[in-house]
Chain A
């Protein structure tokens, strides 16, 4: 019964895979170089989903980590990845590169 439920979820996931790619348009660029985010302050519209297109220009992997944004995403060295943000209530949402947290700091400001 449970297996069937998960099978159905899997099928639904595969079917919606094509729909997912459309969300990448209008992504906000964010880069990581020298273990620093640029821009370190990102302004997004509140109460709607946003996508950050993170490019890691460093020689080491980094984990984009934010408990307030509920995101944990590993981006390998010299590659990029999309960080999807849920619709945010107005406010400040700090994030960091967990592997180099002393320099890799940033904040998303929803307004």
Chain B
């Protein structure tokens, strides 16, 4: 039971952390629970479909379908995170003003909520399909240990949800005025980590086979297989033995998002300042 608990927990921890961050980033946004809920539901449905067609999916693109699929959905998540951050950089100030005036929830554009719902969906889908395959395997094998293994799996899911809650309530302790910079920083790092992982999947699929040599190895210090390493892997894209292409993707994503945010923020700040002074 403990073994299956740990396996499921390992798989859902990533989605748990991401959901926690998204919930914190959309704090005081109207109807965000609905969108995050839709993302989770869509992700679970997608996970079942992906698990059901695992064999067919793997067979696509000369046997690299799985890697290509993972790289593709990670890239979608990176785009969505980037877009959310850039949008927020442009509209965040205006939103903060509205919030102060109304003292209540604001209606954030549906577009950026959709983007975050997609991110949640992708996170659930990626790890969820592996959980589904694992639990299905247990159920299919039968035997007397099935019930206890499934119980372990269920507890693992609960533990993942607890991580999500911890992340969320932890972030809530940050003062509201600093919240935006913290969550947008976290989202930028999430995106950079996902981009570097997408590159790794492309390399595993046999594409992008350059700069694959390991740059450095810190597995002796902080192994990626441990819980701390794994959490840092999700949060900031930590990897104990990165290769050149991964590092480039990471830095490129980081710099691109920050530049776009600054660009949009600079453009918007003047009219925003005028709006505040005249109102």
Contacts and interface: CB of A to CB of B under 8 A. Distances in A.
Given A86-B213, A99-B133, 11 more contacts: A6-B75, A13-B202, A13-B207, A16-B208, A59-B141, A61-B51, A61-B134, A63-B134, A83-B204, A99-B137, A102-B3
Chain B interface residue bracket vs A: 35 or more
Contact of A17 (B61, B129, B224): B61
Contact of B207 (A1, A20, A62, A86): A20
B146 to A, nearest CB: 12
A21 B62 contact: yes
Interface of A: 1-3, 5-6, 9, 13, 16-17, 20-21, 23-24, 49, 59-63, 67-68, 70-71, 73-77, 79-84, 86-87, 89, 98-99, 101-102
Contacts of B7: 98-99, 101
A68 B129 CA distance: 23
Give the dominant DSSP class at A's interface.
mixed
Contacts of A17: 61-62, 64, 207
B107 interface: no
Contacts of B214: 86, 89
Given A24-B62, A74-B133, A86 B203 contact: yes
B223 interface: yes
Contacts of A59: 140-141
> Which 10 A-B residue pairs are closest in the complex by CB-CB distance?
A60-B137, A20-B206, A76-B55, A67-B225, A21-B62, A61-B133, A76-B54, A86-B212, A79-B55, A99-B134
Contact of B141 (A60, A82, A87, A102): A60
Given A67-B223, A84-B204, A61 B54 contact: yes
Contacts of B133: 61, 63, 74, 99
